[in-house]
């Protein structure tokens, strides 16, 4: 198994690049944001609960997200590996992920962090909000709150993975294709 975390703030391009990477490397894509939105659309209780946090730009409690990821991994255990997009978002989630993968005799092989300036992130999110219908992309106050959550709870993961020599920063400004090339170069280096 080869398991990759695509790391970065909201709007960094994790979803966009994941779509290309899963095709290139035959990995399963796990976007916790997409899974939460699918739960909401299906009208499940988990979806209703999660929506209260998503609407405010806050993080959904660890136990909820971890349970959802566990189910996904178990359902896709024949996969040759996963790209985690938008997960883990906290150190507790990262620790839970390590023990889940351990059960499958697997580990996180690399964490690629897309680095994008904040002004560019806001621009991208507001633009996406025009077509995605995502309410949390349409309101600048909610976007700022998502950044706050990222700074407070998610950014510590950069040191968490750096200490394990797994974190690699990648320039996330510029053309989608050239960012994709940088990601592939980094992955190929880790895999060889």
Contacts of 163 (CB under 8 A, 6+ apart): none
Backbone angles phi, psi at 155, to 5 degrees: -55, -35
32 binds ligand C5P (CB under 6 A): yes
**8 A C-beta contact, residue 36 and residue 54:** yes
Report the distance separating Cα 62 and Cα 153, nearest Å.
11
Kindly indicate which of the ranges 52-60, 72-80, 100-108, 158-166 contains the residues binding ligand C5P, using the contact rule CB under 6 A: 52-60
Task: For tokens 């992920």, name the residue.
Answer: 97
Binding test (CB under 6 A) with ligand C5P, winner from 3, 4, 5, 10:
10
47 binds Mg ion (CB under 5 A): no
CB of 188 to ligand C5P, least distance (A): 26
Binding test (CB under 6 A) with ligand C5P, winner from 4, 5, 27, 54:
54
Contacts of 54 (CB under 8 A, 6+ apart): 36, 37, 40, 60, 136
136 DSSP assignment: G
CB of 179 to Mg ion, least distance (A): 15
36 binds ligand C5P (CB under 6 A): yes
Binding test (CB under 6 A) with ligand C5P, winner from 8, 86, 113, 129:
86
| Per annotation, catalytic residue among 146, 166, 189, 191 | 146
- Cα–Cα distances in Å, from 178 out to 17, 170, 184? 11, 11, 10
- Whichever of 41 and 78 has its CB closer to ligand C5P, that residue is 41
Q: How far apart are the first and last CA of the chain?
A: 14
Binding test (CB under 6 A) with ligand C5P, winner from 8, 9, 57, 129:
57
As annotated, the active-site residues are 14, 89, 128, 134, 146
Residues that bind ligand C5P (CB under 6 A): 10, 32-33, 36, 53-54, 57-60, 65, 86-87, 89, 136, 146
């Amino acid at each position: 198994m080869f398991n990759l975390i695509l790391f970065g703030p909201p709007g960094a391009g994790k979803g966009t690049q994941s779509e290309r990477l899963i095709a290139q490397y035959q990995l399963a894509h796990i976007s916790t944001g997409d899974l939460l939105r699918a739960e909401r659309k299906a009208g499940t209780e988990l979806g209703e609960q999660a929506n209260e946090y998503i609407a405010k730009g806050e993080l959904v409690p660890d136990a909820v997200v971890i349970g959802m990821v566990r189910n996904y991994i178990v359902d896709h255990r024949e996969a040759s590996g996963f790209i985690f997009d938008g997960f883990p978002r906290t150190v507790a989630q990262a620790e839970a992920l390590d023990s889940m993968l351990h059960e499958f005799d697997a580990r996180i092989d690399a964490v690629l962090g897309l680095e994008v300036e904040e002004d560019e992130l806001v621009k991208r999110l507001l633009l996406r909000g025009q077509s995605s219908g995502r309410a949390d992309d349409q309101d600048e106050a909610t976007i700022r709150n998502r950044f706050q959550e990222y700074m407070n709870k998610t950014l510590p993961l950069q040191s968490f993975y750096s200490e394990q020599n797994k974190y690699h920063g990648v320039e996330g400004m510029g053309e989608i294709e050239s960012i994709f090339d940088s990601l592939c170069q980094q992955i190929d280096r880790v895999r060889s």
